[in-house]
A and B are shown apart, each in its own frame.
Chain A
Amino acid sequence: MEKTVNQRAWLLVLPVLVLVAFSSIIPMMTVVNYSFQDSFGENIFFWVGLEWYQELLRSERLWDALGRQLLFSFIILMIEIPLGILVALSMPKKGLSASVCLVLMSLPLLIPYNVVGTIWQVFGRADIGLLGRTLSDLGISYNYSQNAFDAWVTVIIMDVWHWTSLVALLAYAGLSSIPKAYYQAAMIDQASRWNVFRYIELPKMRGVLMIAILLRFMDSFMIYTEPFVLTGGGPGNATTFLSIDLVKMALGQFDLGPAAAFSLMYFLVILLISYVFYTVMITIDKDEAKQ
């Protein structure tokens, strides 16, 4: 055997390793370090072991935030995915109108997060906002800064407005990759519109939809800027999602230890859910192919 093993290959990977070390591993280790210590300013640290973690797990505040977070992600996925598909299905397939449509669809995606928050903050205000004012003139009591339900509705509509385009664009890409022959065959088989969707379009879009769900889940799970600008987490703690809570803890109260423990757990939760999600996706894919 004259198997050639090329040791130089490791050298090629080295720059990437250095980069990753500086960009993620070292900052993360700092956070890990904080999470096991208590500090009283002036760079004085005490080793506290797993205390912060235990405290966090016992804290109702965290569990509430987590519950809100999951509910939020669930609701926006339930709205954005079907809505995105619907929009994609009704978009023109080719020609100038298709291009115009694509550009218009991309617009919300180009707006910075804090601007989105500001837009809706103004838009929804009961005194000067177009939406808020119209609603109150119609006799509907609406005030996102005082009513928890109104706040939720506004945050959700804002997110849907901001992100449905992404789902729609992905779904549109999936749709345009379906060969014409499938539609012709369906016509010949006299398939109904629903069946065409159910048996041709949906299966062909599955790949991109999985990506859309994963992206939207991770993103919504980490949502911060928009609700922070809109409601600041209120009224009360009604829209205090995990990241808002984290920032409150770290910057507002300067509890570096618990905040570090919090962010690590936050990170692990996202990793875990994404991993489970991804594995389930892959397994379903494989099973289907095998059968």
Chain B
Amino acid sequence: MKQKSIVVAAAVFLVLVFGLGAVYYQNQKAEKAAQTAKENAVALLRAHSPSFGNISAPVHIVEFLDPACGTCRDFYPRVKQLMAAHPGKIRVSVRYAPFHTGSDQVVRVMEAARNQGLFKETLEALFASQELWVRNHTAHLDLIWPSLSGIGLDMERLKADMVRPEVAQLIQQDLVDANTLDVTMTPEFFVNGKPLPSFGFEELKKLVEDALAEANRK
């Protein structure tokens, strides 16, 4: 019997150390992320970034996004709903974090489409057809064209705009900023400069609601 209690006590102890360690580590990490975001506020927002919603909205979400990322695709309609639930109160800026192989080429397409005023339509078409052009975590540029045919893009102009040096520069700047802000996974959200304490849509929603409440108090 004594042996049994030793083993049970050891198991409980190990699991407890694991659990407390995990909580402690998460807290430290969240604190550090908040600190990093605070110190690098300049890197969070660039004038070049596309954005949705009211420009002077009290709540500003910055999303680091990869068009080839499945979770980004799943978050898109939910963030859109969140914006619709608070009309005029939320602005979303998109920063690029093309971490998937080949994804930077797709970002070039998005930027070129922005020149034609079709950014949103292109992003939505890309997300809708993501399964067709992302294979094995690799984005295939040649597979995206069929899904972009219906939105009225001037393809010749698009292909010319894709290779412009400003576009490459913009992507490069976003990647540098992602690195500065310790963004290693997508999507990553910052609400009025604050990172998510832990990842999840509920956490994002809560942070947005807190920011809305704060804005209402002012």
Instruction: Determine if chain A interacts with chain B.
Output: no
